Structure 1
Amino acid sequence: MEWILLVLIGVAASSLGSLIGLGGGIIIVPSLLYLATLSGFGHVTPQVAVGTSLFTMIFTGLSSTLAYMKYKIVDYKAGLIFLIGSGPGSILGAWVTEALNLQSFNIFFGVFILLVSIVLFLKDKFKPIPYRKDKGIVRNFTDNTGKTFEYGFNPLMAVIIAFVVGFLSGILGVGGGSLMVPTMILFFFFPPHVATATSMFMILPTSVLSSITHITLGNVDWFLALALVPGAWIGAKIGVLLNSKLKSKTIVILLRTVLIVVGIRLIYQGIFG
C-alpha cells in the first residue's frame, strides 16, 4: 500500500512540477513530512525528505527536459548562465539544511512560499531589471496563442540572483523551481512557457549536484526514492503535454495557487503539527 501511495505522489508531484516548472519538490517534501507523522515513516526527517526529493527530481528533470526539447522552448543559453550561480548555491544550501529542525523548517518554508506567491500577484507592477541590448542576452518568443514576448537579462546579474536562488533551493529541497520560475517571470520578463521549460532544464544538473551532497550525508531514503522515481518519470511527461496546451496566463495562475496552498499547509504544520 505504501509503495502505491508513493508512486501516486511521484506522478502527481511531477505532473504539476513540470507543468509549472517547480520540479515536484514543492509537493514531495511536504508529502514526505506528512508521512513522517504516520507509523512506519518515523525515520523521515526534514533532511531525509529534502535529500530524497532532490534525488527523485533528477528523473523529473531528465524526463521533462527531453519532452520540452521537442517543442523547442528551452532557452539553453539562459539556463546555463543561471546554472553558473545556482550550482554552487545549491551545494551550500544542502549543507545548511543540517542545522534545521522539523518545526522551524516547516514555518520557514511556508512563509517563504507565501511571499513568493504574493509577489507573483503584483508581477504586472514590476519592471524588468535594466539591461543593455548590446551587452545583455535578448530573446523573442511567440507562444501557442500567437502572443510575442521580448525578454532579456544582464549575465552578471543573472549569475548573482541564481546563486541566491540555488542556495535557498538547496535548503528547501525544491530544486530551485519554486524560486527560479517566479524570478525569471518577475525580474527578466521571461514568457511563462519558456521560464517553465528552462527551469526544468536547470533542475536536472542542480538536483544531481545537491543529491550528491545529500547522499554523502546519508539523507536519501532509497526505498522511498525507488517508489517515487517511476511516478516522477511518467508525471513529467504528463505535465509537459498539459503545459503545451495551456495559455501563459493560466500557467501563472496555477503557479500562484499551488504556492499559496502549500505555504499555508506548511505554516499550519509548523505551528500546530
Structure 2
Amino acid sequence: MTTSSPSSRLQKGFLKYQHVFVFLAPLLFVVGVYTAAPTPADAGTGYWFEYWWLCIAFVTGATIVNTVGISGSALFVPFLIFIFPLLAGETLTPETLVKVGLISESFGLSSSALAFIQYGLVDRRLALSLVLGSVPFVIAGALLSFVIPEPLFHALLGIALLAASYLLFKADLGHEEPGAAGDSDPEVSADGGDATLPDDDNKLGPAGVETADDGAVTRVDRDGNDYGYTRGGYLERFANYSIGGVFQGLAGFGVGELGIISMLRTEVPVRVAIGTNHIVVATTAVLASLVHVFGGGLVPGAHSIDLASTPWNMVVWTVPATVTGGQIAPYVSTALDTGTIKKFVGGLFAVIAVALFLMATGGV
C-alpha cells in the first residue's frame, strides 16, 4: 500500500473543500466593498439593494458560460447593453460595462476553474502551453483596445464568432463520449474506480491521468468516467488561441470562444476541453484586466479605469452570482449529452454574433 505525500494530501484536501475557499472570496469582497469602497455619501439600504435582481441574471449567465467554457463577458456585455436598460431604465457607459464585466468575470472564472480541477477535467500541461502562447496576444489586444474604434471591433468579433459557430457544427464530436479508454470488463479498485486506469493520490475519488510513451493520454474524472486523447495539434490551437487572445485583450472575451473550437477539432474530449479552457480564459481575463487598469499610461491619449466611479451596488450582487454559477457549471457539463453541448454552444455563438453586428452598425 502506497502512502500519499504531504503535498498530495494538502492538494487533495484543498480540492475537496475548494468550494469553502471559493465562497469566502466573494464574501470578503462584499465586506470590503461595503466597508472601504468609495461610494456616494448618501449610500443607504436603497443604494445597496437597487440592483439585487442582477444576481438572478448573472447566476444564470455564469452557469451557461462556464458550462460551455467561454468567457463570462460573452453574455454579460450583451446583457448589460440590450437587457439592462429595459429593466433598469438607464444605460451604462462603455467604461462601466468593462468594469462590471471584468470584476464579475474574474471571480466567476476562478470559481469554475477550481470546480473543474476538482472534477479532474483539466489537462494542466495543455493549459500551461495555451496560456503561455496566448499571453503576448492578450497584452497586444488590451493595448489595442485603447485606440481601435468600437464598431470595428464588434464587427470583427462577430465575424470570428460566426466562423467558430460554423466550425463547431461541422466538428465531429464522436470521440468525446467518456469510456473510450476503459476496458469492457474493468477490475474495481478500493476507491470505486477501475484498477486498470490511472488513479492519482492528489485527486478526488478515482480521478487520475496517465500519458503513454506514444503521447496517448488516459484521463479519469472524479466520477470514474475515462477519456482517451492526445495532445497533438499544437499549431492549430496556437492559431486559434492567438487570434482569440487579441479579442480577449480587446474586450475580455474571445479566447474561450475560438480556443475551444481548436481543442474539439484536435480531438480533445469536450468535457476536458471545457475544463482546460477555463484555466486559459481565467488567466487571460485577469491579465487583460490588469492591462486595462494599468496599461492606459502606455498608450498616448488612452483612458484608465477609475475605481471611484465603479457601480459597487451592482458588483456586490454580480460577484457572488458568478461564483455560484461557476460552481454549478461542472455538474451541468457532466450531466449534459455532448451533442446537446455542441448545439447549444454553436447556437449561442451565432446569437452573440448577431448582437455584435447590431452594435457595430448602430442598430441598438
TM bin (shorter chain): 0.7 to 0.9
Deviations 1:27-58 (A, max 9, x none): 0111222368567754521x543453233222
Deviations 1:194-216 (A, max 9, x none): 01001112222211111111222
Report the equivalent of 2:246. Answer: 167
Residue 260 to residue 162, structure 1, CA distance change in 2 (3 Å): closer
CA contact (8 A) 1:15 1:236 kept: yes
1:263 and 2:263 correspond: no
Report the equivalent of 2:80. Answer: 32
Report the equivalent of 1:204. Answer: 282
Q: State the secondary structure of the residue aligned to 1:73.
A: coil
| Runs of at least 4 residues off by over 6 Å | 133-136, 142-147
TM-score by length of 2: 0.64
CA contact (8 A) 1:113 1:259 kept: yes
Q: Describe how 1:2-81 pairs up with structure 2 within 5 A.
A: 2-34=50-82, 41-45=90-94, 48-81=96-129
**How many angstroms does 1:93 deviate by?**
0.9
CA contact (8 A) 2:154 2:357 kept: yes
CA contact (8 A) 2:134 2:284 kept: yes
TM-score by length of 1: 0.83
CA contact (8 A) 2:218 2:226 kept: no
1:97 and 2:176 correspond: no
Residue 122 to residue 157, structure 1, CA distance change in 2 (3 Å): closer
Residue 17 to residue 153, structure 1, CA distance change in 2 (3 Å): same
Q: State the secondary structure of the residue aligned to 1:3.
A: coil
In the alignment, the residues of structure 2 paired with residue 166 and residue 235 of structure 1 have an alpha-carbon distance, to the nearest angstrom, of 24
Aligned match for 1:191, one of 253, 256, 269: 269
Which protein has the bigger helix share? 1
**How many angstroms does 1:165 deviate by?**
2.4
In the alignment, the residues of structure 2 paired with residue 136 and residue 210 of structure 1 have an alpha-carbon distance, to the nearest angstrom, of 36
In the alignment, the residues of structure 2 paired with residue 88 and residue 6 of structure 1 have an alpha-carbon distance, to the nearest angstrom, of 34
**How many angstroms does 1:145 deviate by?**
10
Report the equivalent of 1:218. Answer: 305
Deviations 1:169-198 (A, max 9, x none): 212321621122112112x22111001001
Q: Sequence identity, in percent? A: 23
1:248 and 2:248 correspond: no
In the alignment, the residues of structure 1 paired with residue 63 and residue 56 of structure 2 have an alpha-carbon distance, to the nearest angstrom, of 11
In structure 1, stretches of 5+ residues that fail to align are: 126-132
In structure 2, stretches of 5+ residues that fail to align are: 1-48, 174-210, 295-303
**How many angstroms does 1:219 deviate by?**
7.1
Deviates more, 1:49-58 or 1:115-124: 49-58
In the alignment, the residues of structure 1 paired with residue 154 and residue 162 of structure 2 have an alpha-carbon distance, to the nearest angstrom, of 12
Q: Describe how 1:108-187 pairs up with structure 2 within 5 A.
A: 108-124=156-172, 138-141=216-219, 148-153=227-232, 155=234, 158-159=237-238, 161-174=240-253, 176-186=255-265
Residue 134 to residue 199, structure 1, CA distance change in 2 (3 Å): same
In the alignment, the residues of structure 2 paired with residue 171 and residue 135 of structure 1 have an alpha-carbon distance, to the nearest angstrom, of 40
Deviates more, 1:96-105 or 1:154-163: 154-163
Deviates more, 1:158-167 or 1:92-101: 158-167
What code does the residue aligned with 1:237 have? Q
CA contact (8 A) 1:33 1:44 kept: no
Q: State the secondary structure of the residue aligned to 1:150.
A: strand
**How many angstroms does 1:4 deviate by?**
2.2
In the alignment, the residues of structure 2 paired with residue 213 and residue 136 of structure 1 have an alpha-carbon distance, to the nearest angstrom, of 40
